Structure 1
Amino acid sequence: MTSQTRARAAIILAAGQGTRMKSPLPKVLHPVAHRAMLDHAIDAAVGLSCERIVVVVGTHSPEVRAHVVKRLGEAAIAVQDPPLGTGHAVRAAEQALTGFDGDVVVTFGDVPLLKAADIAPVFAGEGVTVIGFEARDPGAYGRLIIDGDTLTAITEAKEASAEVLAVTACNSGVMAAPAALLFSLLAEVRNDNAKGEYYLTDVVELARRAGHPTRVVFAAEDSVMGVNSQAELAQAESLFQSVQRETFLAAGVTMSAPDTVHFAWDTQVGGGTVIEPYVVFGPGAVIEGGARIRSFSHVEGAHVASGAEVGPYARLRPGADLAEGVKVGNFVEVKNVKMAAGAKANHLAYLGDGSVGAAANIGAGTIFCNYDGFNKARTEIGARAFIGSNSSLVAPVSVGAGAIVASGSVITEDVPENALAFGRTRQTLKPDAGAAFREKAKAKKDAAKAAKQK
């Protein structure tokens, strides 16, 4: 059986305490592009078609364990207790991989930019394979000593000679090997070092001594960057956004100020879309080609069809579904509402839980009153209906096709098709009462001011 056809498994190391993050949130749960770093690592393993994924967690972070169990199940958990180095962490996953006969790759829960395509080459050979990178500033990274196609050693910077320190090929920490070989080599790793820890990198020397092939494949430095601090988290976010912007620009998306647009990990945008400056996409946004997203808008969990226009200063929340030609204007919020072709809500409205028919017009200040403090209810607006400004539609309620709701109305009952609905009291006029009110109010204010000065 060739390495390309062997079964694959992934061990993701996520037991570090992450003290340099200085945050109550466990390090690997910090998000990059609105997705936990650990989920990025799991995504890469899924993308590699790994039939087993094991995440090594520590006892100090029950939140990490719960996160993994929710996504992968209890069988994906291995516990490292106490933490005694990377080699020890990988051995903690051995029992979870009992009976597995295939290749195992070891990755990290705090390396969010590493993709399946970056990792895949480790499975192309036999023996032990390490992912390396050419460092702009090698610094404290372990150096890879390479002879032709063979990885002859990994030398830690603190133990390296001046000649070795000049090497720019560095170790990412990601390693792959057949499961049986990996765990047999790890069983030989010793902790006779200053920290008393078991190092995964020792596997390379042990493999060479035993006559197994050792090799290195290279990935871009940015793709293998680890996150250990808030500054590095921000750097990872910046790198992710840079790649996404370049990808969308290349696909025909127009962005006049791309550095001001922020995407989520799963944002979909079709070519021909125009995205104005200062737009933020949360998870689950799907924008079809030819739409326009105007400045200072926030789009999350929403679908925007071709020809629709959003913003400026609009907010689309999960469940918003805008058909062709829909206009959602400034300071309009839409949540769980499907707006049919040509419908408009141009300004200052809240549309929550319901539907808006084709070519309907929602006036400024309209509110779908969808929540009674306990339950949500829907508001249904028919095609070509006109909702006057400053109207409150108290759900559950429907307004039929072609109906008109007068401005300032509070609608609590269904409005039939083509009807005209008023939900307000009759205006009352009292001649000269305004002048009398002002005189009375001024006298009261003057009296209070005089009393205060005494």
Structure 2
Amino acid sequence: MTNRNAVILAAGQGTRMKSKLYKVLHPVAGRAMVQHVIDQLNTVKLDKMVTIVGFGADIVKEQIGDASEFVVQEEQLGTGHAVLQAEHLLKDQEGTTIVACGDTPLITGETFQELFAHHEREGAAATILTAQTENPAGYGRVIRNETNEVERIVEQKDASESELLVKEINTGTYCFNNKALFQALHEVSNDNAQGEYYLPDVIEILRNKSEKVSAFLTPNFEETLGVNDRAALAQAEKTMRKRINEKHMRNGVSIIDPDHTYIEPDVVIESDVIIHPGTIIKGASTIKTNAEIGPNSEINNCYIGEDTIVKQSVANDSKIGDRVKIGPFAHIRPESNVGNDAKLGNFVEIKKTVLGDNSKVSHLSYIGDADVGSNVNIGCGTITVNYDGTNKFLTTIGDDAFIGCNSNLIAPVTVGKGSYVAAGSTITDDVPEDALSVARARQTNKEGYAAKLKSRKKD
């Protein structure tokens, strides 16, 4: 197989985005646009990838990491000039180089593979990825001759009235014979309305040298969308969400309302999961079979076990076991580990807590920095008082313990196995196993005192 390289154009600032964030770093489905392009290109097994950076070079490099080599375009003099910056890395290589834009996040690995295969099969010096659209405004037009061969590409600002009517557009993605590309780039002129060196001018240069120029017409214009402003960004987001949701539904996941369900690309969902409207699932989350999520729940970087139900709740960076019932309105904060058959009810918040199998925190409690055993019942209004203003401390609750309502457990403290804490207690010392701890003021009744207070008010 011939060598395959890629050049990704990611140097532009993207002024039409009207943002401090560089254009290619704007997220689509939770992932930077340029990262989508790199991820899809990697599916075709490239020999070398070079990303052209300019504005925000350091931030773009940080996002991409070691997935690519980098070249800085110091002056923004057009796409042809941008590709030319990679000459010292690629010019002597035999094979095919694909040029893709960092703001086209929807092009799939399958399309990149088909473009490579078409180019190599045709033996072309250049192959353009083209598409048909009823509204070609803003795109370069693909101009063909009387025998339907690609003759040149004309940018909209340089197009004649007849050329503006052409509906076949240049998507900005190309395959080139690598050596022919860099030879032709030295012949590109900036004699145009923008005063820039256009990469599409390479097509006409190669044609004038009697080199073969081909076009691969993708049937899916939507996939080739270039994101230049916030409206296009929203359109790309909608398309990507639809693609992700359809993949999960075909794999046996029931998504009740796909238009109002938001799932990021790295999420793994097993069959027979039910996802209700308004649910957001992000990061490297895994949802196991028969789980039910939502409505209006947010899951981020979590493992959720089989048959678990999460209703109107938020969970972050945590592991949740099988047959757990969560919500409504529970908040699972990072580094929590919820065991099998546990329950976290309404308005319960846990943080950095292990909750053992069959343990229950049914309502209105905060359990933070705690190690809770199995078969523990924690009553309404219980708080693990974990913070003294400077440091966080651990609360340990043994198996089979019972914590009464409105209890404060002042950490560091241990409540022993099988022990009881009476309702309304403030626990400052360890509780032994199988003990009853009562830590509250003794009740005093002053008979007739209320009547005395009332009479004072009347006076």
Same fold (TM over 0.5): yes
Q: Establish whether residue 35 from structure 1 lines up as the match of residue 31 from structure 2.
A: yes
SS of match in other structure, 2:53: strand
Residue 439 of structure 1: CA displacement? 7.0
Letter in structure 1 aligned against 2:240: F
Match of 1:13 in 2: 9
Aligned equivalents of 2:313, 2:294: Cα separation in 1 = 8
Match of 2:382 in 1: 391
Matches within 5 A, 1:361-376: 361-370=360-369
Aligned equivalents of 2:314, 2:90: Cα separation in 1 = 46
Match of 2:390 in 1: none
Match of 1:135 in 2: 133
Deviations 1:78-137 (A, max 9, x none): 111211111001111222446644321111111111122121122222321111111131
Stretch of structure 1 that moved more, 197-206 or 121-130: 121-130
Q: What is the root-mean-square deviation of aligned Cα atoms in Å? A: 2.4
Letter in structure 2 aligned against 1:224: T
Match of 2:431 in 1: none
Match of 1:117 in 2: 110
Aligned equivalents of 1:343, 1:209: Cα separation in 2 = 73
Match of 1:295 in 2: 295
Match of 1:47 in 2: 43
Aligned equivalents of 1:54, 1:17: Cα separation in 2 = 18
Matches within 5 A, 1:176-255: 176-219=175-218, 220-255=220-255
Letter in structure 1 aligned against 2:350: L
SS of match in other structure, 1:363: strand
Any stretches of 5+ residues in structure 2 without a counterpart? 387-392, 427-438
Q: Establish whether residue 426 from structure 1 lines up as the match of residue 440 from structure 2.
A: yes
Letter in structure 1 aligned against 2:87: E
SS of match in other structure, 1:366: strand
SS of match in other structure, 1:248: helix
Letter in structure 1 aligned against 2:226: G
Deviations 1:49-68 (A, max 9, x none): 2232222122xx33x43332
Give the 3 Å change call, closer, same or farther, for CA 140–23 of structure 1 in structure 2: closer
SS of match in other structure, 1:414: strand
Match of 1:407 among 405, 408, 422: 405
Matches within 5 A, 1:443-454: none
Residue 436 of structure 1: CA displacement? 5.8
Match of 2:328 in 1: 330
Question: Percent identity among equivalent residues?
Answer: 29
SS of match in other structure, 2:181: helix
Letter in structure 1 aligned against 2:155: E
Stretch of structure 1 that moved more, 332-341 or 299-308: 332-341
Match of 2:166 in 1: 167
Letter in structure 2 aligned against 1:14: A
Contact 1:286–1:303 under 8 Å retained in 2:
yes
Contact 2:53–2:60 under 8 Å retained in 1:
no
Match of 1:382 in 2: 373
Give the 3 Å change call, closer, same or farther, for CA 419–154 of structure 1 in structure 2: same
Q: Give the total of aligned pairs.
A: 426
Match of 2:69 among 34, 52, 76: 76
Contact 2:94–2:178 under 8 Å retained in 1:
yes
Deviations 1:359-402 (A, max 9, x none): 111131221233xxxxxxxx211111111221122341221221
Match of 2:79 in 1: 86
SS of match in other structure, 2:354: strand
Residue 301 of structure 1: CA displacement? 0.6
Structure 2-normalised TM-score?
A: 0.86
Residue 329 of structure 1: CA displacement? 0.9
Deviations 1:316-347 (A, max 9, x none): 101x2112101111121113212121011122
Give the 3 Å change call, closer, same or farther, for CA 310–74 of structure 1 in structure 2: closer
Contact 1:76–1:96 under 8 Å retained in 2:
no
Deviations 1:25-61 (A, max 9, x none): 1111111111111211221222222232222122xx3
Match of 1:104 in 2: 97
Letter in structure 2 aligned against 1:90: V
Residue 163 of structure 1: CA displacement? 5.1
Give the 3 Å change call, closer, same or farther, for CA 325–223 of structure 1 in structure 2: same
Structure 1-normalised TM-score?
A: 0.87
SS of match in other structure, 2:61: helix
Stretch of structure 1 that moved more, 46-55 or 236-245: 46-55
Give the 3 Å change call, closer, same or farther, for CA 295–74 of structure 1 in structure 2: closer
Contact 1:77–1:96 under 8 Å retained in 2:
no
Letter in structure 1 aligned against 2:143: I
Contact 1:65–1:77 under 8 Å retained in 2:
no
Aligned equivalents of 2:301, 2:40: Cα separation in 1 = 23
